[in-house]
């Protein structure tokens, strides 16, 4: 009822028009009945006496049928059919009511009802058709690509202004579409908000629309999938604005438009951070980021630069990646002091010199090897980098009394079946152990896969699709947790600001995603159909891979924190002497190039051996 009343308020002009044509049709029906001559007084008086009944009954029927809800600019056969039904029902209701109140229709000619219905239908339909013809002629004379904007909010309005100001002759914005019934019927800069996005197909057919712009940065996964599905069904070109988490400046421009990406369809609610707490914990301090040129490391650098670190030290062993991120930071954040150091986290002399020169207050350790199948045959390098490299940086953070050390971990460290996961779990254990005897806060942040990171599954699928397929998926039932790089790094900062010593913080990853469905969505985003245009081939699990990843161990019961997207995993006790002995033995085996390093890992991470045996059994089966 409330929704109907709200719609009525915004449609008052249509209702007023129909209120005028109803009595006009009634009087014209009498005039036609008497051959366009003078209507006898007694019948004219009867017609005027009946007017309140005619207006009231017909208006109630029109409102009940929803005639006023139709948009005149897009009037079509369904709208005309609705008007015909409304007029027919209204005429019958008027005749019945007058029969009861007007002395059994003594002075109301029966033919008047038929004439009234014909005249009213002509007036209601004719005015709508004329209005549509006028508008279509008006838009057909304007130059530029015809554009429809999904979203009549702030983003849509700002996008409209940018288009009309900077490209007045290139784009002809025909209409806005929005799901909010309160907005429908209004205008933005004299361009109407006509209906919900569901009318897009009809709109394209009538006006030959060239481009659809999706300006709904706050859309969640379900909403974005619906909008994309509507656009795909029409075959028209479409673009979208970035999600809300990317529009930090609040400024929306044509340059921000891009093709719809897979992370739009996996859309997650924007991260709302306690920036005051983060700034307080990091502002005016020297911050070291290891692996600064990688996917996570580079985004961490961007976020850290935006919260006013006094000095940002970038450490990476890749010359090109290090150069690239420093150049970007210098350009985007000229007031932030940055220093790029080329080196390896496993090089003790280099890292010691690093800490002696800069004495960082906070260390974000993102340096790690991560490609599971490749690393299975590289035991020595993985242990050296992911486990011993972490120990090296963590020991220096403790020795130089850094305020905090943040280890970037992974869901693969939970019941690890891969060498990479086992090394990450060993790194977690070492940091937790060191926390018990250090003034430095050792914080571990654990999360799943990051969309679009270097070498991840999405770029791989996109490359295969670009080549025409096939797209290779290891297993039809395989699932993974996903989040965007921006969200992951922002939650790392939040966890580091709230972090308690020696704790593991688990980021809320939402529901696991079927990799096969992910491949299908990417294929559809490219405008093709899975298994018709591009084949999907299942290749089987590779060594070290699991069907389903986990974010915490059974013994790591989760508790809530004061931030809804971050949970705290209870730490598992490991005997301190055992931790140090195993790491020392691993270092000895590294020095002698001894390949039995996995035995040391299995001793420290017993679930690694068990999971490996289970995975091997599944693979052979």
State the Cα–Cα distance between residues 542 and 619, nearest whole angstrom. 8
Q: What angle do CA 594, 598, 600 make, to 5 degrees?
A: 85
Count the alpha carbons within 13 Å of 347 in the hemisphere toward its beta carbon.
Answer: 14
Sign of the dihedral defined by the CA atoms of residues 177, 182, 185, 190, in that order: negative
- DSSP structural state of residue 387: I
Task: Give the per-residue pLDDT at 405.
Answer: 94
Task: Give the per-residue pLDDT at 310.
Answer: 78
Q: Do domains 142-260 and 275-450+482-508+550-619 have the same CATH topology?
A: yes
Q: Write out residues in the chain with pLDDT < 70, as ranges.
A: 1-11, 68-78, 102-107, 132, 134-144, 166-169, 218, 220-222, 241-275, 308, 451-456, 499-502, 508-510, 525-527, 544, 550-565, 567-568, 570-571, 609-621
Q: Which CATH architecture has domain 275-450+482-508+550-619?
A: 3-Layer(aba) Sandwich (3.40)
Task: Tell me the residue length of the chain.
Answer: 621
Per domain, the residue ranges of the chain are: 2-138, 142-260, 275-450+482-508+550-619
- Of 159, 135, 117, nearest to 22 (Cα)? 117
Cα distance between the two ends of the chain: 61
- DSSP structural state of residue 70: S
Task: Give the per-residue pLDDT at 44.
Answer: 72
Task: Give the per-residue pLDDT at 251.
Answer: 42
Task: Give the per-residue pLDDT at 246.
Answer: 44
Sign of the dihedral defined by the CA atoms of residues 207, 213, 219, 223, in that order: positive
Query: Domain 142-260 classified CATH 3.40.50.720?
Result: yes
State the Cα–Cα distance between residues 492 and 504, nearest whole angstrom. 11
Task: Give the per-residue pLDDT at 112.
Answer: 79
Task: Give the per-residue pLDDT at 175.
Answer: 84
State the Cα–Cα distance between residues 44 and 40, nearest whole angstrom. 6
Helix-helix angle 457-466:515-525, to 10 degrees: 40
Task: Give the per-residue pLDDT at 6.
Answer: 45
State the Cα–Cα distance between residues 158 and 508, nearest whole angstrom. 32
The distance from CA 32 to its chain's CA centroid, rounded to whole angstroms, is: 61
Q: What is the dihedral of CA 481, 486, 492, 494, to 10 degrees?
A: -120
């Amino acid at each position: 009822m409330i929704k109907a009343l709200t719609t009525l308020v915004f449609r008052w002009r249509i209702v007023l028009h129909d209120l005028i044509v109803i009595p006009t049709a009634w009087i014209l029906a009498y005039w036609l009945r008497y051959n366009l001559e003078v209507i006898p007084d007694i019948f004219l008086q009867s017609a005027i006496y009946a007017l309140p009944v005619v207006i009231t009954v017909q208006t109630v029927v029109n409102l009940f049928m929803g005639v006023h809800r139709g948009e005149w600019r897009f009037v079509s056969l369904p709208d005309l059919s609705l008007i015909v039904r409304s007029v027919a029902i209204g005429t019958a209701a008027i005749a019945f009511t007058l029969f009861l109140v007007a002395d059994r229709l003594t002075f109301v000619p029966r033919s008047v009802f038929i004439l009234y219905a014909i005249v009213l239908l002509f007036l209601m339909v004719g005015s709508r058709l004329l209005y549509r013809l006028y508008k279509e002629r008006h838009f057909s004379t304007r130059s530029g690509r015809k554009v429809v904007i999904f979203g009549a909010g702030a983003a849509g309005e700002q996008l409209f202004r940018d288009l009309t100001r900077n490209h007045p002759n290139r784009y002809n914005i025909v209409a806005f579409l929005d799901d909010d019934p309160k907005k429908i019927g209004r205008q933005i800069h004299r361009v109407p908000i006509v209906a919900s996005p569901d009318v897009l197909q009809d709109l394209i057919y009538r006006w030959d629309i060239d481009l659809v712009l999706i300006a709904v940065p706050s859309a969640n996964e379900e909403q974005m999938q619906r909008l994309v599905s509507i656009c795909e069904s029409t075959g028209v070109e479409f673009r979208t604005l970035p999600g809300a988490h990317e529009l930090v400046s609040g400024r929306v421009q044509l340059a921000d438009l891009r093709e719809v990406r897979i992370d739009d369809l996996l859309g997650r609610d924007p991260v709302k951070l306690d920036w005051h707490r983060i700034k307080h914990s990091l502002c005016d301090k020297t911050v070291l980021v290891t692996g600064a040129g990688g996917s996570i490391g580079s985004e961490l650098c961007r976020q850290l630069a935006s919260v006013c670190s006094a000095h940002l030290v970038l450490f990476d062993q890749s010359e090109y990646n290090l150069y690239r991120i420093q150049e970007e930071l210098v350009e985007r954040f000229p007031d932030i002091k940055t220093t790029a150091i080329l080196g390896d986290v496993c090089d003790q002399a280099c890292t010691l010199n690093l800490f002696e020169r800069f004495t960082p207050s906070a260390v974000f350790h993102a340096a790690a090897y991560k490609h599971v199948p490749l690393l299975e045959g590289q035991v020595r390098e993985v242990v050296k980098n992911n486990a011993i490299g972490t120990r090296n940086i963590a020991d220096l953070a403790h020795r130089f009394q850094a305020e905090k050390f943040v280890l970037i971990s992974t869901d693969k460290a939970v019941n690890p079946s891969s060498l990479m996961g086992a090394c990450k779990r060993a790194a977690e254990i070492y940091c937790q152990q060191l926390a018990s005897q250090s003034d430095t806060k050792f914080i571990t942040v654990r999360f799943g896969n990051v969309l679009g990171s270097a070498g991840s599954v999405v770029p791989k699928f996109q490359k295969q699709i670009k080549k025409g397929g096939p797209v290779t998926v290891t297993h039809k039932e395989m699932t993974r947790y996903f989040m965007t790089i921006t969200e992951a790094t922002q939650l790392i900062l939040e966890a580091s600001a709230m972090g308690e010593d020696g704790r593991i913080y688990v980021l809320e990853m939402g529901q696991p995603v079927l990799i096969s469905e992910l491949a299908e969505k990417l294929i559809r985003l490219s405008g093709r159909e899975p298994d018709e245009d591009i084949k999907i081939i299942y290749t089987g699990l590779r060594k070290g891979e699991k069907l389903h990843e986990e974010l915490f161990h059974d013994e790591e019961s989760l508790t809530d924190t004061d931030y809804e997207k971050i949970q705290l995993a209870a730490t598992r006790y490991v005997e301190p002497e055992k931790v140090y002995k195993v790491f020392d033995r691993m270092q000895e085996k590294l020095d002698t190039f001894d390949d039995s390093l996995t035995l040391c890992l299995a001793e420290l991470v017993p679930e690694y051996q068990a999971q490996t045996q289970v995975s091997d059994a599944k693979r052979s089966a």
